[in-house]
Structure 1
């Protein structure tokens, strides 16, 4: 497994951990992918995927979400951050990586909550220097988009988590998502209840999504228990000004889910590399 260099970015009293992988062999100006992880998932979990992306000819960095892994602050009753801060953190990480990004294509790649943060970053901060966005196992977890009897369990489950976080001042991570700030849980539960992003920092995030023009590769995973195919369809529908390549991923004979796709990611890495190579020059 290729080793990475652990770096840190300071932003608004928080410290963001960023794992930067070596450049692909013989490709000093390869397109660079910045990965934003799922809720409660450490950056190091993506090492197999990062290695596959590097083998496919891409430079890779993976940033722990605020409060997870090497990033601080640890979620507590004193934490007030939510989706606004997660989206801004992607901008701070990109700014710290700017010396490495200049002159090469740049992609954001989000998984689950990281994908929501990446989309919101583009919508709220008009990040014109981002050339492409890849979404893998991402979606708006709106309860009506789940199939069968599970649909009727999603709403009380998500809102129960939000109520617990509101009562305790923090989500302790009991069986879902790891320890999280109540603001993150509040905003996530809003999407599950309404199918829409909340207003963020006084901005109508739903309207802002319609102004994103960045090319998008959107891939849902067969067997994904948290963001099944219709949840990503709902998210893509909000990006009505962006060119979207919408695909489904499965490996014949292999059962995948919201997390285990990372360990079967060589076909996905090749697809992301192909997407990157086809992006127009800035």
Structure 2
């Protein structure tokens, strides 16, 4: 797995660490404006390429067997890799879309994870009933992608998500159908997410067709034990990109929310 490090200012030797987990099929380098914005706000930043994406290897093939369970484990591997450089630092996960789902699943399956907070940005279970417009079309589209990945043995990335292992697409499409996180090694992760006590900031964006406000609300409702701050922000225009991605290229509103929320977190464990 590839990690990009953006050190904090030398005047902040104990700066908190923000670990950015990207969306499906999005390379970590895409988040450089976000990383630089967070550094300016007083964080050290590490951006991880998800398994098989960006500079992480190998590329998904028909031989790839991994799914959401492995992505959740990968979050732990990233945190372990950072211990040498960032031991005893307050650490927050900043998960965009699929990266946010992986972050929640990691906390659900690793209750003692060394994480002080999770910022979810346009991150939600893609439940078809939570799409106020064209929910049936969205649901059918997700299931068609799932069936195609199963038939081909890999998702080639046609129209959506980049090249992905069929297990990732299977779990994504399954959660879109049921509205629940997939079980991991026999663990009911929906129930386990409900037991997470790590503080969560959940942000949704006006005009986001991929992850509408209602989908984030549906997922946030699962966090029954976590201190939750729910925010909605206006659509951000950047480079003509869809709302789901534009915020990462012009990230000031999101950075401001993360900085303000971080200041309210309890002392580092």
| TM-score interval for Structure 1 and Structure 2 normalised by the shorter chain | over 0.9
Aligned partner of 2:250 among 264, 274, 278? 264
Aligned partner of 1:213 among 183, 197, 208? 197
Runs of 4+, deviation exceeding 4 Å: 251-256
> Aligned residues, how many?
266
Name structure 2 gaps, 5 residues minimum. none
Matched, 1:85 2:84: no
Contact 2:71 2:102 (C-alpha < 8 Å) held by counterparts: yes
- Please name the residue that 1:275 is paired with: 261
- Please name the residue that 2:181 is paired with: 197
Distance 1:174 1:98, change over 3 A: same
- Please name the residue that 1:3 is paired with: none
- Please name the residue that 2:166 is paired with: 182
TM-score, structure 1 as length reference: 0.91
Q: Deviations over 1:139-170 (max 9, x none)?
A: 1111111123x112011100000000000000
Q: d(CA) in 2 for partners of 1:30 and 1:132?
A: 15
Stretch moving more, 240-249 or 123-132: 123-132
- Please name the residue that 2:43 is paired with: 58
Contact 1:31 1:276 (C-alpha < 8 Å) held by counterparts: no
Shift of 1:201: 1.6
Contact 2:17 2:44 (C-alpha < 8 Å) held by counterparts: yes
Shift of 1:204: 1.0
TM-score, structure 2 as length reference: 0.95
Name structure 1 gaps, 5 residues minimum. 1-15
Shift of 1:102: 1.8
Distance 1:251 1:224, change over 3 A: closer
Give the secondary structure class of the aligned counterpart of 1:248: strand
Contact 1:110 1:118 (C-alpha < 8 Å) held by counterparts: yes
Distance 1:276 1:151, change over 3 A: same
Q: d(CA) in 2 for partners of 1:101 and 1:180?
A: 31
Q: d(CA) in 2 for partners of 1:31 and 1:153?
A: 42
Q: d(CA) in 1 for partners of 2:24 and 2:105?
A: 15
